[in-house]
Amino acid sequence: MSKVAWRLMPFLFVCYIFAYLDRVNIAFAKAHMQGALGFDPYIYGLGAGIFFLGYVLFEVPSNLLMVRIGASKTILRIMVLWGIAASLMMFVNHPWHFYVLRFFLGVFEAGFAPGVILYLVTWAPAAKRGKFLGLFLTATATAGLIGAPLSGAIITWMDGVAGYPGWRWMFFVQGMPSVLIGLMVPFVLTDRPRDAAWLSDEEKAAIEGALSLERQDSPHREGHFFAALRNRRVYILSFCYFTLASGTFLLAFWLPAALTAAGAKGTWEVSLFTAIPYGAAVVAMVLLGWNSDRTRERRWHCALPGLIASAALLATIWSPSLLVTVLLFSIATACIFGMLAVFWAIPPRFFTGIAAAGCIAFINSIGNFAGFVNPYVVGWLQQSTGSLIPGILLTLVLLVSGSITLLIAVPKATNE
């Protein structure tokens, strides 16, 4: 499997870095858009969240289409279109420009993350799946780690180039690479192990045999997406992922604002302090994914970090200094993103084939609806109260609820 990992994972990792960065880089432009365009927290929150309306509406159709046309064509289409939409954010001048482009960015990116998750399920047996998914999903934290200082540098150093402010250049510079990388997809990704010219016949047979045996041994083999929707586990896992995603989107869209409120000053300083929690998240995702595979345990590896993250978020309310705030947000970010490394190894236990394609997309869609709800509600609460504290409290309640639900309602695997 090492040859498969080295062939697929670096490329998919880079793809997801740009996907996540193009989704959340408005957090670094927020203050500049507020000053230049008059966008208040409500407008910002609605624009940040409306991305996920388009994302949710088109995610399941995108994944079902991928089963028919293959992963490489699907990922090519997604990356080129979202890169164009992300680059056009450079020219936003009105709230409606902001809303429309964010909506279509969501439409175009729909299906990418669950599509890659499904793609990796067709390549990696269950024993290796947590590691593969953990490495892929680590890109979200890595995007925060490198994206924060990168965004700050572009905003600062490209300010005034060709008469455009730096925050506008940030959207273009971070959007166009997605188009170029998307055009490389057909030359790098192979849809199925048996079609991989870079594998020997023995290697192909070993991978296909392991996956075939796994499908035969699975006690949960709903063959059709709509039949699988009658399984209550789809909705339990959707709720759990909604609560987890609420935490990731609180951090993605509001962490720079929280650090500014705690005393960080200037675009560059805020960007550097924002990168620290994401550095902790990268380490946590790798370690949790590795240990979850080693012990074959998923539920506690997902639920316990959620409870710890909730405690850390609660403690930020009484933080006495900027450095303590950064430390607490680092703990929360590490735990929340660490949950991601483990969570997506759970659904393939219950669904295979086209049912897995639809259900993974459905769970991801419901979870990502938090991407609309959280920025919108937190923005409204901040506009109404002048504080991020109500939004933080709401998010930690959701995290606790999801963690407890996961422990109670999701059964153990037979090998746990």
Residue 217 has pLDDT above 70, yes or no: no
Give the best-scoring range by mean pLDDT among 123-132, 250-259, 289-298: 250-259
**Residue 227: band (very low, low, confident or very high) from pLDDT cuts 50, 70, 90:** low
Greater confidence (185 vs 56) lies with 185
Domains detected in the chain: 2-409 (1.20.1250.20)
| pLDDT tens per residue, range 125-134 | 777 777 787 7
Q: How many angstroms separate the CA atoms of 241 and 207, rounded?
A: 29
Mean pLDDT for 177-181 is: 96
Mean pLDDT for 100-129 is: 88
Mean model confidence pLDDT for the chain:
89
CA dihedral 399, 405, 411, 413 (to 10 degrees): 10
Residues facing 351 on adjacent strands: 222
**Residue 353: band (very low, low, confident or very high) from pLDDT cuts 50, 70, 90:** low
Residue 74 has pLDDT above 60, yes or no: yes
| pLDDT tens per residue, range 8-44 | 999 999 999 999 899 889 988 998 998 999 998 889 9
Closest residue by Cα to residue 308 from 399, 196, 209: 399
Mean pLDDT for 295-312 is: 94
- The pTM for the full model equals 0.80
In degrees rounded to 5, what are phi and psi of residue 222?
Answer: -60, 120
Residue 201 has pLDDT above 60, yes or no: yes
| Buried residues in 320-354 as b, exposed as e (16+ CB within 10 A) | eebeebbbbbbbbbbbbbbbbbbbbbbbbbbbbbb
pLDDT at 222: 45
Residue 102 has pLDDT above 70, yes or no: yes
Q: How many angstroms separate the CA atoms of 12 and 116, rounded?
A: 8
